[in-house]
Amino acid sequence: MFVINCPYCGERDQSEFNSGGEAHIIRPKQPTELSDDEWAEFLFMRKNIKGIQFERWNHTHGCRKWFNVVRDTTNDQIHAVYKMGEKPPKDY
Amino acid sequence: MSNYRINKTDFVDQTSRISFKFDGKTYFGYKGDTLASALLSNGIHLLGRSFKYHRPRGIMSCGSEEPNAICQINDETELSEPNVRATEIELYEGLEVSAQNCWPSVNFDIGGINNFISPFIPAGFYYKTFMWPKSFWKNIYEPLIRKSAGLGKSPTKPDPEIYDHKHVHCDVLVIGGGISGIMSAKLAAQKNLNTILVDDKNTLGGSTIIQENEDFKINNEISKDWLIKEIKELQKLDNLTIKTRTSIAAFHSYNYLLAKENLTDHLPKDKKNNSIRQRLWKIRAKKVVIAAGSIERPLVFNNNDRPGIFLANSINKYLNFYGVSCGLNNFIFTNNDSAYETAISLFEKGISVNMIDIRKKATSNIVKQAEKLGIKIYWNSTVTNTFGYRKINSIEIMKLSDDGSNVMGDKIKINCDCLGISGGWTPMVHMHTQSGGKLNFRENDQVFLPKDGYPNQISVGSCNGDFELDEIIKNTNRNIKIYLDIKNTDYDNLDISCSKEVEKRNIWLLPNYLPIGKTKSFVDFQNDSTAKDIKLALREGFRSIEHVKRYTTTGMATDQGKLSNMHALGIIAETAGVKMGTLGTTTFRPPFTPLTFGAIVGRNVGRFFDITRKTPMHEWHLDNNAEFENVGQWKRAWFYPKNNEDMHKAVQRESKAARESAGILDASTLGKIDIQGTDASEFLNRVYTNAWSKLAIGKCRYGLMLNEDGMVYDDGVTTRLGENHYLMTTTTGGAANVLSKLEDYLQTEWPELDVYMTSVTDHYATASVCGPNSKKILIKLFPDLKFDDENFPHMSFQKAYLDKIECRIMRISFTGEQSYEININSKYGKSLWEKCIDAGKEFDITPYGTETMHLLRAEKGFIIVGQDTDGTMTPVDLQMDWIVSKKKYDFIGKRSLYRSDTIRDDRKQLVGLLTDDPNEVLEEGAQIVADINKKPIDMLGHVTSSYYSPNLKKSIALAVVRSGKKMKGQKLIVPMENKNINVTVSDFIFLDKENSKLNA
Amino acid sequence: MKNKYSIFSLIKNAFSQHENWQQAWGDPNPKKEYDAVIVGGGGHGLATAYYLAKKHNMKNIAVLEKGWIGGGNTGRNTTIIRSNYLWDASAGLYDHALKIWENLSQELNYNVMFSQRGVMNLAHNLQDVRDLKRRTHANRLNGIDAIWLNTNEVKKFCPIINTSPNIRYPVLGGTLQKRAGTARHDAVAWGYARGANEMGVDIIQNCEVKGIKRNGNQVEGIDTVKGFIKTKKIGVVAAGHSSVIANMAGLKLPLESKPLQALVSEPVKPIIDTVVMSNAVHAYVSQSDKGELVIGAGTDAYVSYTQRGSHDVVEGTLKAILELYPIFSRMKMLRQWGGIVDICPDASPIISKTSIKGLYFNCGWGTGGFKATPGSGDLFAHTIANDEPHKLNAAFNINRFVSGDLVDEHGAAAVAH
């Protein structure tokens, strides 16, 4: 059980949060113009990274805010957190 | 019977006698005893039978590593507990203990026959046989295996005791109250750090607390006396919490640790006073100091498992802590110096003792001390056999060859009643590795040690590989100073003297004159895996330690390999000719010692299993005989039986009333989300399939929400309360998920939208009054409000006051009847409800529950998301094309509706079904076919909702059927187990298709 | 078989103190080239190799395993086997597997201890009842033995369940599949390994895959820590690590890898003689032949390759266990562990060709792959050998995520354990 440093509330137990999966998958602005393949890519295909992953988390049992986390999926160490809309840190 | 209590100690109160029962016979011990020490004081050694061969087994150790002495306590009572280690249970008055895994008794056990057929049942034998004839596996072989396996018996009565959880944060957690843990805790607390010290025993002090040998001194005091003073100092420190009888169960990542505190297990039943039995501490520690100590290793030789064979240091503990002598004629078999402390201690108390040492000589002070006392030492020797069925009575000794690979010379057989064994020490690195720490291997004494450099934790003392008193103290002091950034300590200039081990010799599997196949050299005592089993596994190609472990079951018993893992590795390394350090270890899985389910669950049992959500009207429903249905965490009134009606009768009555006069439903559980902001309309446009911008203020609209994959997710009516203000309703079960999904889109995809959402489900109570007389009732309740269709049409909203309390009234209908949903601050919910009932009395207003609600809406063909849909239905499948906007360029799930498989017209589609026999009600979930004779049977769909409609006087059903849209009028079959039911596909709106009742 | 196992071989070997048993499988170095290479030495991968050799006469094949065979989810699951799935495609797939299970010990000459003690699924609310009845009807018509039990029948079949109407979520009934049960997980991997090895399959352990070489759109070979291996066909059966291998070939899969935990209690004498699963009160339990209660916990809802989940999940599971079996409160957890499960959006697996010629994936088994092991291996072998799916795995192609023809086992089949 890790600890997540919510950018709005500070360090809280993981059990207060929910993961929203891989980050920076932007919903297409014009879905109707995509092919079935392109739409499936957005909808289902995931990098599912073993290593440093950029992902979304929600402070469900707290401020209810969504934000981004840089986490190593091989050991659950969290390297950075940043708010929605902010640029991801470049060091990873 | 002899009395083996020969010594008075500080830890056992010999004035306070306690009686207990073992296998039905009464014995006595004293306050401070463990069950093991009390039994030993009575000369009882045989405590149970081993897992596979049912060999007689006795007490071997004095702690959590005990593999053999495990028993059932308080059998047949509600406090029954299997597999309790006799070495850990503190004696109390009235304790009842029975031996396990034996029948008819521990002294004479039929299962002991397994010992004689053991040549035929080597490791993994069950993979190779029991396959013929095939049917025997199920009926004969497996039942036999199952019956003979298992150790103790599961309790059969519910547990009356209470368990508790406590969450704590601390600066430093020190695991282990031995000398290094005590030092660490003192230093941390003196540095003003909020510190917790835990130890699994009932007293602090570890092994040093019985260290009376004059060779071990600190500042010229016997080490025991020095430590007692330190413990006294410790108790004066303010910011130190000491928790004894508390063991760390798991060390998870981010320094999250679980510790189990035993609160009443040591008390007799009449002293427990219904207080908490065990408390699970959930600890987040900034820093962790692991001072978990080490465990003595056994030696692996032929028949090393008999009752009366002890770990050498345990003999010392029984003697000097409990005052009990394990035997009167002792032999101690060792490969290291530590066992000499035990020998000297026995000798000094006048008990006969001899040493057998596999080393050729030893020159340390402690060995010299033993020699000076005249203790006989058999150098360069090994035990090759032991004798005595229920208890050891003699041993056989031989000389070792120069390289230790063989025995030579004469066999010497000598009588004894107790054999101590010591194969060195294994640092307890469990906690370190559980937290993710890695290990190094130290060749010199063949131990795995924690790698250092982890900022969140440090290991000190013997669990870090320091075995000599001076090293323990100096290194603990130095490392803690660095770790906690301390300049000077009380321990900086201690004068320490101790005997130092010089000569080392280790042989993982001691040689024998017999071929290995004819020996039983136990590695895992409880599971009966032997050195030859490990060699067999290697021979058969199992190379990884994990394979060997699984094939031989080594390390998988209730002691989790605390005594066996190192020997298994050692034997593999020796056999395969590889370096032990390269083999790695098996994974140390939590918990460290078995952890009670009750403690893990804490108070979350019974009525605290899950929260129960009740509406403000709940009491009224109870008072009016309602039956309830669980919907998510909500309790919803299901139906209100009158005069012993069954559900069917009640529902028929309720639904007729709702259609013919007036009914009232508690709709408070529906999810309610308050949506505000200048972009609220645009937001709704994007989340619902239909268009929202043009909805006038004060109007309501039904909306359907999809998942991004195009499947129906939720539905409900949303009301425009103001220009930038909406109230959305959701399904009861979907409320939380809908809000969190909408927040997700709002915050992450469309942050530019000015929208704010709040859940107001619990803020409002909702009474839904429906039926031809509903309007009359509303007029009575709200005399100032105009209810004519022009001022208050269907699908609109009005604000009104009930005794000055603001209400929101929505004229919306889920039943097809004219219907009003009155929302009020939930504090007034019950009052609103009672006023409705009161006002409706003259119309015989009938409360109805969810079952009737389901029937009424089915008559109208309204779907219930989750019942008529299952995550695979699009709005088009539901024949709800009308609600899917063709104009909107996008909404959640839109793109998915146009994939090659979602646009197919042979998908399952919502239809109505009428049974040929109007009295036959279909079973919900029943499958539908066209041709019952075609194999394999082609299932077209299934019945989703089905009722007998008293209003239509026939059975009706909703179903999803492949290509159902085109099948109206077609005959289909619903095949049941005992009959086939003929049905006809119909329209799914059964009643009032013209919606005339809405405005009647 | 050169080294047939039986009671007679045990007796015979006893007289030579078991010194003459042969290796169950060898420990070869990889050859330069194989006709097919299977990546992943779990049950599914070993079964695939076994059936390739046995039914498709492909003997020059290798199974590459990063660690030790059977060390992933094969050796970490709760060993439940059943086939009472909702959709026709799933029922076909899992019942194909179940039929193989019924003769597997004899076929492999290795006792996998398949124990048909029945699997019961409990219903705790009215929607559960509808869903489970729907599934039971579908099963019956698909020829799968599944029956509905009312609460009293549930109690009769498993007397230790708390069926009191006064608990928070009372048992309203359940389904029972009597042919379902459990098997000894390690034995499945070992039995297939031995059988495959006997037919000439190379089982290469400690052989991590580092890359996949392509020539245009055709697979050419595979880079490993033990060197390059030439092959035209690669079957990937890497469970939680499927995406990692896919990335080497430049593919993305519709998978997320999540921690799934399980635990066992200390061993006790027989107390529960069936497998009981509950979705609403999330817990499932059986008792191993050794006497341990084997309890499955849920997944953590985030991607992780750590093989460890959060304590909350374990606590939640045991909470449910004590709700249904209050007598277990004083039992003790002996061991707890985690695995990495690869989960598809529709909770159904992928057994499929890919857009790259010669590259095949068998993945997405989520929390319930063990039960399918023999069927999965058989159908995947068919797919690799013929470059075409068998009709029983046709629905489990990767393209369904594009076309929308999902096999959604979330809804009525509940958790796909």
User: A19 in helix, strand or coil?
Assistant: strand
Residue B106: which pLDDT band, with cuts at 50, 70 and 90? Answer: confident
CATH superfamily of B298-423: FAD/NAD(P)-binding domain (3.50.50.60)
Distance from the first to the final alpha carbon of chain C: 35
CB atoms within 10 A of CB B2: 10
Which amino acid, B962? Answer: R
Distance from the B663 Cα atom to the nearest Cα atom in chain C, whole angstroms = 23
Cα(A54)–Cα(B106) distance, integer angstroms: 60
Between helix B565-576 and helix B545-552 the angle, nearest 10°, is 120
A5-32 tens-digit pLDDT: 999 999 999 999 999 999 999 999 999 9
B632-655 tens-digit pLDDT: 999 999 999 999 999 999 999 999
Do A84 and B252 count as a contact with CB atoms less than 8 A apart? no
Full DSSP string of B828-894? GHHHHHHHHHHHHGGGT-EE--HHHHHHHHHHTT---TTTT--S---TTTTT-GGGS-SS-S--TTT
| Mean residue pLDDT across chain A | 95
- Read off the pLDDT of each residue in B730-745 and give the average, rounded to a whole number: 95
Residue C2: which pLDDT band, with cuts at 50, 70 and 90? Answer: low
Cα(B387)–Cα(B391) distance, integer angstroms: 8
Find the residue in B nearest to C138 (Cα). B927
**CATH 1.10.287.610 matches B904-1000:** no
- Read off the pLDDT of each residue in B847-853 and give the average, rounded to a whole number: 98
Chains A & B: contacts with CB separation below 8 Å: 54
pLDDT at C341: 97
Query: Tokens for C344?
Result: 């598809």
pLDDT at C108: 97
Q: Which residues pair with C146 in a beta bridge?
A: none
Domain boundaries, chain B: 13-121, 166-294+427-497, 298-423, 514-607, 618-886, 904-1000
Find the residue in B nearest to A14 (Cα). B254
HSE of B921, CA atoms in CB hemisphere, 13 A: 11
pLDDT at C416: 34
pLDDT at B696: 97
pLDDT at B22: 96
Closest Cβ opposite residue B740 in set A26, A27, A58:
A58
Q: Is residue B575 predicted with pLDDT exceeding 60?
A: yes
* CB < 8 Å to A1, chain C: 310-312
Closest Cβ opposite residue A75 in set C306, C401, C403:
C306
Q: What share of chain C is helix, strand, coil (3-state, %, to 5)?
A: 30, 25, 45
Q: Is residue B860 predicted with pLDDT exceeding 70?
A: yes
Q: Residue B302 — φ and ψ, nearest 5°?
A: -65, 130
- Read off the pLDDT of each residue in B245-261 and give the average, rounded to a whole number: 97
Sheet bearing B221-222, strands edge to edge: B221-222, B217-218, B496-497
C82-130 tens-digit pLDDT: 999 999 999 999 999 999 999 999 999 999 999 999 999 999 999 999 9
Q: Which one-letter DSSP state was computed for residue B816?
A: S
C55-93 tens-digit pLDDT: 999 999 999 999 999 999 999 999 999 999 999 999 999
DSSP H/E element including C194 = helix C185-198
Distance from the first to the final alpha carbon of chain B: 97
Nearest to C316, CA basis, from C282, C279, C278:
C282
HEC secondary structure over C283-345: EEEEECCCCCEEEEEEECCCCCCCCCCCHHHHHHHHHHHHHHCHHHHHCEEEEEEEEEEEECC
- Read off the pLDDT of each residue in B130-158 and give the average, rounded to a whole number: 90
Do A66 and B747 count as a contact with CB atoms less than 8 A apart? yes
Cα(B620)–Cα(B540) distance, integer angstroms: 72
Which chains form contacts with chain C, at 3 or more CB pairs under 8 Å?
A, B
* CB < 8 Å to B600, chain C: 314-315, 318, 333
Q: Check if the beta carbon of residue B575 is closer than 8 Å to that of residue B257.
A: no
Distance from the first to the final alpha carbon of chain A: 23
Do A45 and C247 count as a contact with CB atoms less than 8 A apart? no
Full DSSP string of B672-690? EEEEESTTHHHHHHHHBSS
Between helix C88-108 and helix C373-386 the angle, nearest 10°, is 100
Which amino acid, B622? Answer: L
Cα(B986)–Cα(B969) distance, integer angstroms: 6
Q: Indicate the length of chain B as a whole number.
A: 1000
Distance from the C214 Cα atom to the nearest Cα atom in chain B, whole angstroms = 31
pLDDT at B999: 81
Cα(C268)–Cα(B81) distance, integer angstroms: 10
**CATH 3.30.1360.120 matches B618-886:** yes
Is C266's Cβ below 8 Å from some Cβ in B? Answer: yes
Name the CATH topology of B514-607.
Arc Repressor Mutant, subunit A (1.10.10)
Cα(B832)–Cα(B819) distance, integer angstroms: 16
Residue C219: which pLDDT band, with cuts at 50, 70 and 90? Answer: very high
- Read off the pLDDT of each residue in C260-282 and give the average, rounded to a whole number: 95
User: C214 in helix, strand or coil?
Assistant: strand
Closest Cβ opposite residue A15 in set C312, C342, C345:
C312
B432-489 tens-digit pLDDT: 999 999 999 999 999 999 998 898 999 999 999 999 999 999 999 999 999 999 999 9
- Read off the pLDDT of each residue in C184-193 and give the average, rounded to a whole number: 98
| Mean residue pLDDT across chain B | 96
- ipTM for the predicted complex comes to 0.98
Q: Is residue B908 predicted with pLDDT exceeding 70?
A: yes
C248-263 tens-digit pLDDT: 999 999 999 999 999 9
* CB < 8 Å to C253, chain A: 45-46, 48
Query: Tokens for B343?
Result: 């020998």
Residue B2: which pLDDT band, with cuts at 50, 70 and 90? Answer: low
pLDDT at B586: 80
- Mind listing the domains of chain A with CATH numbers? 3-25+33-83 (3.30.2270.10)
Cα(B154)–Cα(B152) distance, integer angstroms: 7
pLDDT at C410: 79
pLDDT at C417: 36
CA C282, chain centre distance (Å):
20
- Output the CA–CA distances (angstroms, integers) from residue C269 to B143, B641, C97, C342, in the order listed: 11, 46, 30, 35
Do B131 and C113 count as a contact with CB atoms less than 8 A apart? no
B808-837 tens-digit pLDDT: 999 999 999 999 999 999 999 999 999 999
* CB < 8 Å to C311, chain B: 250, 252, 256, 258, 282
How many helices (H) and strands (E) would you count in chain A? 1, 6
Burial C189-217 (b: 16+ CB within 10 A, else e): bbbbbbbbbbeebbbbbebebeebbbeee
Which amino acid, C356? Answer: I
Query: Tokens for C397?
Result: 């192609």
Cα(B468)–Cα(C288) distance, integer angstroms: 44
Sheet bearing C218-224, strands edge to edge: C209-215, C218-224, C227-230
Which amino acid, B509? Answer: L
Name the CATH topology of B166-294+427-497.
FAD/NAD(P)-binding domain (3.50.50)
- Output the CA–CA distances (angstroms, integers) from residue B746 to B677, B683, B756, C217, in the order listed: 12, 8, 9, 41
For B493, residues 6+ apart whose C-beta sits below 8 A from its C-beta are: none
Is C2's Cβ below 8 Å from some Cβ in A? Answer: no
Cα(B328)–Cα(B4) distance, integer angstroms: 8
Which amino acid, C177? Answer: Q
Nearest to B342, CA basis, from B313, B366, B369:
B313
Do A3 and B284 count as a contact with CB atoms less than 8 A apart? yes
Domains B298-423 and B618-886 share a fold: no
For C317, residues 6+ apart whose C-beta sits below 8 A from its C-beta are: C261, C263, C282, C283, C295, C296, C297, C298
* CB < 8 Å to B899, chain A: 36, 39
pLDDT-above-70 percentage for chain B = 100
Residue C414: which pLDDT band, with cuts at 50, 70 and 90? Answer: very low
Cα(B420)–Cα(B326) distance, integer angstroms: 9
In the CATH scheme, what is the code of domain B13-121?
A: 3.10.20.440
